[in-house]
Amino acid sequence: MTVQKHDPARKGEADKPRAPAGAGQPRRTAVITGITGQDGSYLAELLLAKGYDVVGIVRRTSHDSYERIGHLLDRVHIVPADLLDQHSLTSVVRDARPDEVYNLAAQSFVPTSWTQPVLTGEFTALGVTRLLEAVRLAHPTARVYQASSSEMFGKAQETPQRETTPFYPRSPYGVAKVYGHWITVNYRESYGLYAVSGILFNHESPRRGLEFVTRKVTDGVARIVKGKARDLHLGNLDARRDWGFAGDYVDAMWRMLQPPRPADYVIGTGEMHSVRELCDLAFSHVGLDWQKYVTVDPRFVRPAEVDTLQADPSKARRELQWTPGTSFADLVRMMVDADLERLS
């Protein structure tokens, strides 16, 4: 394996100008970890539309997990690698020589982080170091996006939360994401890598995993309408989140890797809604009263809760010209309609 050694003289990669994407320029290449996930599928679509060569990292499983990217398979390069395996990551980066690397892979479900805390740390925390090492050793001019999370704010120390708000994570997942954030900042400051941490608030879509609360509710509504379920069991209805549309948020990821100098950004809508409001909107969209169907079930209450999260995305608006394009009500209706269609 030919691996480019780190040369301290390379410190300052982040400052080097590069040609803008577009007509007359060579095609850019992007590597995406987590391409089979919600965000990976939307990001792959966005980058293909911009003319990128897209290389998607997929871990080996006995069943393929291409449900979200089946329509893209003839246009992306799928390569096997795992966040747990340094050699596989280094090989992919060495072979692809990407312009941009998006690290979206993680164990991303907060409740699982209490039942599998060590594995969550391996994927979601140390996996970031492995990927950064792959870039540092094999292709240090690549620009790296790290998928950080508003869960890092946890027991929020101020509202709304911005880039300078102190972290107070409330789950092994949140702790692992704090590690991922700081190791990204450290590789930028130690080695001059162009590495940014995007602190994204909750974002949802019809491709969201069924275990997350928005999709659990919209899928539950569709099942009740279709006569496949009679009720819906949820946890804390008072939790409040800043929910946006995933399709809007992958555009923010791309924008973060375009400026000449790397910086970290908070991405969210600036609006907060409760799980109760989510239920009201989703059930009323099909003419039902949510209170007749929703039961609070202690099985879905967490050992420690993040009560409220609300973004202050003004830095992204100012510096990246990014604004969310989908309202919470439109998002919930889009998801209910998609679940009804899917079950038809």
Q: Footprint of ligand NAP on this chain (CB under 6 A)?
A: 33-34, 36-40, 57, 59, 61, 65, 82-84, 104-108, 123, 147, 149, 200, 202-203, 209
Burial 63-82 (b: 16+ CB within 10 A, else e): eeebebbeebeeebebbebb
Buried b (16+ CB within 10 A) or exposed e, 157-170: eeebbbeebebebb
Number of residues in contact with ligand G4F under rule CB under 6 A: 22
Q: Taking CB within 5 to 8 Å according to partner kind, which of ligand NAP, ligand G4F, none is near residue 114?
A: none
Q: Which residues pair with 148 in a beta bridge?
A: 199
Q: What is the 3-state secondary structure (H, E, C) of 109-149?
A: CHHHHHHCHHHHHHHHHHHHHHHHHHHHHHCCCCEEEEEEE
Of the residues 149, 150, 197, 205, only one is catalytic, namely 149
Ranges within 239-298 binding ligand G4F (CB under 6 A): 239, 241, 275
Q: How many CB atoms lie within 10 A of CB 84?
A: 14
Strands 273-274 and 240-241: antiparallel
Residue 293 known to be catalytic:
no
Quick check: 333 binds ligand G4F (CB under 6 A)? Answer: no
Name which of 192 and 202 has its Cβ closer to ligand NAP: 202
Q: Which of these segments, 65-73, 149-157, 178-186, 313-321, binds ligand G4F (CB under 6 A)?
A: 149-157
Of these partners, ligand G4F, ligand NAP, none, which one is at the site of residue 280 (CB under 5 to 8 Å by kind)? none
Tokens at residue 195, please?
A: 């590495």
Which residues inside 102-141 make contact with ligand G4F, applying CB under 6 A? 108, 110
Binding span for ligand G4F by CB under 6 A among 159-167, 230-238, 279-287, 329-337: 230-238
Contacts of 100 (CB under 8 A, 6+ apart): 28, 29, 30, 31, 52, 142, 143, 144, 145, 257
Question: Which of the residues 13, 45, 100, 151 is marked catalytic?
Answer: 151
Residues 143 and 100 sit within 8 Å (Cβ to Cβ): yes
Least CB distance from residue 8 to ligand G4F, whole Å? 35
151 in catalytic set: yes
Would you call 149 a catalytic residue per the annotation? Answer: yes
Q: Which does 40 bind (CB under 5 to 8 A by kind): ligand G4F, ligand NAP, none?
A: ligand NAP
Tell me the per-residue interface mask from 302 to 321 with ligand G4F, x by CB under 6 A, - otherwise: x--xx--x------------
Q: Any contact of residue 202 with ligand G4F (CB under 6 A)?
A: yes
Cβ atoms of 258 and 100 closer than 8 Å: no
Using left for φ > 0, alpha for ψ between -120 and 50, and beta otherwise, residue 51 falls in left
The one-character DSSP state at 56 is E
Strand partners, 145: 102, 196
Residue 104 to residue 275: CA distance in whole angstroms: 25
By the rule CB under 6 A, 328 interacts with ligand G4F: no
Indicate the residue among 224 and 239 with the shorter CB distance to ligand NAP: 239
Q: Which of 42, 145, 173, 249 is catalytic?
A: 173
Residues that bind ligand G4F (CB under 6 A): 108, 110, 149-151, 201-202, 211-213, 216, 234-236, 239, 241, 275, 300, 302, 305-306, 309
Give the catalytic positions in this structure.
149, 151, 173
